């Protein structure tokens, strides 16, 4: 029987991957009360875009599950290109 985590990883793996460049430090909008790491400072990388709100996008690192998603303000990120496999 397949676990929830493996199902989630498979579903996320079916979404498109994008190379993303971050334009500054930001606070994760989904974990506002996280005091151990209040600000994230990512430079760039390959992520799945799995939705969002009017002002932010939800991203998941490649190989991650829905529980690994984080929120980035749209004004602090730039989608560089769609990654083809």
Asked whether 62 and 76 are in contact (CB, 8 A), the reply is: no
Domain locations along the chain: 4-83
Residue 34 has a pLDDT of 53
Mean pLDDT of the chain: 84
The pLDDT of residue 81 is above 70: yes
Mean pLDDT over 8-16 rounds to 85
Q: In whole angstroms, what is the distance from residue 83 CA to residue 49 CA?
A: 12
Bridging pattern class, strands 70-73 and 56-61:
antiparallel
Q: How far apart are the first and last CA of the chain?
A: 29
Residue 78 has a pLDDT of 94
Residue 41 exposed, middle or buried by CB count within 10 Å (0-12, 13-18, 19+)? exposed
Q: What CATH topology corresponds to 4-83?
A: SH3 type barrels. (2.30.30)
For the ranges 39-43, 58-62, 75-79, which has the lowest average pLDDT? 39-43
């Amino acid at each position: 029987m397949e676990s929830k985590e493996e199902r989630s990883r498979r579903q996320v793996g079916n979404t498109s991957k994008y190379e993303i460049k971050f334009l500054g430090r930001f606070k994760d909008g989904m974990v506002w009360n996280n005091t151990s790491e209040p600000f994230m400072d990512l430079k760039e990388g390959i992520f799945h875009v799995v939705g969002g709100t009017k002002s932010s996008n939800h991203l998941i690192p490649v190989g991650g599950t829905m529980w690994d998603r984080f929120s980035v303000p749209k004004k602090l990120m730039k989608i560089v290109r769609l990654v083809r496999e």
